[in-house]
Amino acid sequence: MRIAYQGEPGAYSEAAALLYSPHTETLPCKAFDEVFDAVVQKRATHGIVPMENSIGGTIHRNYDLLVDHEIPITGEVELDVVHCLQALPGTKLEDITIVYSHPQALAQCERYLKELGVTVEAVYDTAGGAKLVAEQRLRGAAALASRRAAEVFGLEVLQEAVQDYEYNITRFFVIGGALPTDGNKTTIVFALPSTPGSLFRALSVFALRDINLSKLESRPIRGRPWEYLFYVDIEARRDDLPCARALTQLGEFAKWIRVLGTYKGWERGKVQPGG
């Protein structure tokens, strides 16, 4: 098993891959589409991509890539994004004068950094900041990155969970590999015309069968101002009879439907499904 992810070693996506399957081999990629390419070209057995974050929202780009490829979703991971202030071993908190990280991480720790009274400097990704501090042996400098990044680059974590908002979760999809036999959740994408009641009719196919939905999101379709895409997570297997019937009926209303995969939903605090 080898999981392709976007980012440098130590990136949160790599941490998510290792949470899904603790001793797996990982393959860093520069961009999200390269993660899909790595699976298509069999350089990796699986890929992992972030789909939504509790602060930043849904990453539409990765839904587009799922629709554009024939690679099914086979797993789900939810990762707590825990920013750790990390520096060369032996560094004291009061010696830190500059902190390197991705602007989004710096923004999520804004109050903390202000109290620390340090200069901040943007870098391309969080793990890249840790790499910079480690490789250039920067004294008096720290990075904001995952605990995994500190392990990869031999840095010491000075303070853990320094973000201003404690609830910061990223949800990832695992793609590729064998179809899971214990799937209990199905993700679909479908398009509807923007007419009153069209979504209501579409949702009736689930409601009338007592099937619960755990995510529903509309998105305008580019170039087609009166059509919407919907992302829906269904709490059922694709081939459960009620779900299969609901999807058939949905086909009567939707312009198109794509089932992106049936997989085992992530259970927080439980043993990892891919371990």
Q: Which stretch binds a second copy (CB under 8 A): 11-19, 120-128, 174-182, 246-254?
A: 120-128
- For residue 125, the minimal CB distance to a second copy (Å) is 7
In three-state secondary structure terms, 201 is: helix
- For residue 48, the minimal CB distance to a second copy (Å) is 18
3-state secondary structure 87-156: ECCCCCHHHCCEEEECHHHHHHCHHHHHHHCCEEEECCCHHHHHHHHHHCCCCCEEEEECHHHHHHHCCE
- For residue 199, the minimal CB distance to a second copy (Å) is 7
Helix or strand (DSSP H, E) at 76: strand 73-80
Site membership for a second copy, residue 122 (CB under 8 A): yes
Neighbours of 61 (CB within 10 A): 13
Give every CB contact of residue 189 below 8 A, 6+ residues apart in sequence. 63, 66, 67, 229, 230, 231, 232, 257, 258, 260
**Closer residue to a second copy, CB minimum distance, 57 or 117:** 57
- Which residue bears the tokens 């199905």? 186
Site membership for a second copy, residue 103 (CB under 8 A): yes
Site membership for a second copy, residue 249 (CB under 8 A): no
**Closer residue to a second copy, CB minimum distance, 103 or 251:** 103
Distance CA 140, CA 119 (A): 11
Distance CA 240, CA 184 (A): 9
- For residue 58, the minimal CB distance to a second copy (Å) is 4
Kindly name the residue from 24, 26, 126, 170 that is annotated as catalytic. Answer: 170
The residues in 186-245 that bind a second copy, with binding defined as CB under 8 A, are 194-197, 199-201, 203-204, 206-207, 210-220, 222-223
Local structure of residue 231 (DSSP, 8 states):
E
Distance CA 79, CA 84 (A): 14
- Which residue bears the tokens 């995969």? 261
**Closer residue to a second copy, CB minimum distance, 24 or 101:** 101
Kindly name the residue from 36, 153, 172, 230 that is annotated as catalytic. Answer: 172
Residue count, binding to a second copy (CB under 8 A): 47
**Closer residue to a second copy, CB minimum distance, 46 or 102:** 102
Q: Is 195 a catalytic residue?
A: no
Q: Which of 99, 109, 101, 148 is nearest to 128 (CA)?
A: 101
- For residue 3, the minimal CB distance to a second copy (Å) is 21
Site membership for a second copy, residue 61 (CB under 8 A): yes
Q: Is 170 a catalytic residue?
A: yes
Active-site residues, by number, are 170, 172
Residues binding a second copy (CB under 8 A): 30-31, 52, 54-61, 102-104, 106-107, 110, 120, 122-125, 167, 194-197, 199-201, 203-204, 206-207, 210-220, 222-223
